[in-house]
Copies of this chain bind each other. A is one copy, B any other.
Amino acid sequence: MRRLNNSIEALAHSYLVQGIVNRSGGGALPNRESIMSILLGLNELLFPGFGGLEDLSHDLRLITGEQVYHVARDLMREVEKSVAFSSRKGGRFSCGKEGCRAAAELMVEDFFEELPKIRGALILDMEAAFKGDPAAKSIEEVLLSYPGFEAVMAHRLAHFFWIREVPFIPRMMSELVHSRTGIDIHPGARIGGSFFIDHGTGVVIGETTIIGNNVKLYQGVTLGALSVKKDEADLKRHPTIEDDVTIYSGATILGGGTVIGRGSVIGGNVWLTKPVPPYTMVYNNAGNQVIREQRADNTR
């Protein structure tokens, strides 16, 4: 296996020449495993026992203290790296080593102060899921086994960092839960209270989407953009969903001006690029399907 030594040289050389090696050229980037560990730690802090901790009866306060410090430490490190990147690239932050650290510290403290409020919002989401799914036998079942709830939990955490313009971390959180649930919510999306996604695989919610209260989505729903031009990145490219709307599986709703009015119902597989007034029902006319007898073909 002597040729391996040449491959080692070639790879090391390629890191120099092509230059996109992670963590070189000015500073480290956030660490995927660390962000995952932070996200799982926060789930556990929001709902102790969620991630597998046992025996919480007596010493819940000690566990909480330990977890807060532990997650704070990891988070501070990742936020600091992200803020420093922002500063290097001329983003929102502009700070030297100490200043970036101080900014990270402040942000982490703010974040933990916000956590009980996020927890309150999530409890409403949980209740919405219980009410919205006839198959749900108890509210505890939502906590333990609903991917839609897990995705919304990650979103409410990621959104905190998005609106403060921290690079990387919100997107990494979103993608981690996208990988686990098949639900892809951009951390920039603004989502109201009592939000529920059922089944969820294939759901995509774009960066500038606005969602009201008591909205319910099913699997495969896309809330996307019509335009994909890079220079329109700052515009509102994704739809607005008002309160009390339900959108069934596979529906596609595109465009920044596409407002789904309050109380509307969008049927499965519907394709929408224009606004819909309040209290409207939109559904596909299934008449365009061909039905014929067949015998021989289904050999499989």
Contacts and interface: CB of A to CB of B under 8 A. Distances in A.
Interface string A278-291: 01111111111111
A23 B49 contact: yes
A144 interface: yes
Nearest to A85: B140
Nearest to A186: B135
Interface string A52-72: 101011111111111011101
Contact of A206 (B20, B23, B109, B135): B135
B178 A20 contact: no
Interface string A227-238: 111111100010
Interface string A107-144: 01100110110011001001000011111011111011
B62 A141 contact: no
A263 B114 CA distance: 48
A215 to B, nearest CB: 10
Most buried by B among A45, A175, A276: A175
Interface in A192-215: 199, 201-204, 206-207, 214
B283 A289 contact: yes
A295 B279 contact: yes
Contact of A12 (B60, B108, B280): B60
A291 B298 contact: no
Contacts of A4: 65, 68-69, 72, 109, 112
Contacts of A145: 168, 171-172, 174-175
A65 B56 CA distance: 20
A132 B202 contact: no
A290 to B, nearest CB: 5
Given A263-B295, A286-B273, A66 B62 contact: no
A224 B62 CA distance: 41
B7 A22 contact: no
A24 B57 contact: yes
A168 B66 CA distance: 26
A246 interface: yes
Contacts of A147: 175, 178-179
A131 to B, nearest CB: 7
Nearest to A288: B285
B143 A22 contact: yes
B281 A15 contact: no
A225 B174 CA distance: 29
A94 to B, nearest CB: 16
Q: Which 4 residue pairs spanning A and B have beta carbons closest together?
A: A22-B49, A66-B69, A33-B52, A7-B112
20 contacts: A4-B112, A8-B61, A8-B68, A11-B119, A20-B47, A23-B49, A23-B57, A29-B143, A62-B72, A85-B138, A144-B171, A145-B174, A179-B180, A199-B204, A201-B201, A219-B222, A263-B295, A279-B293, A281-B291, A281-B294
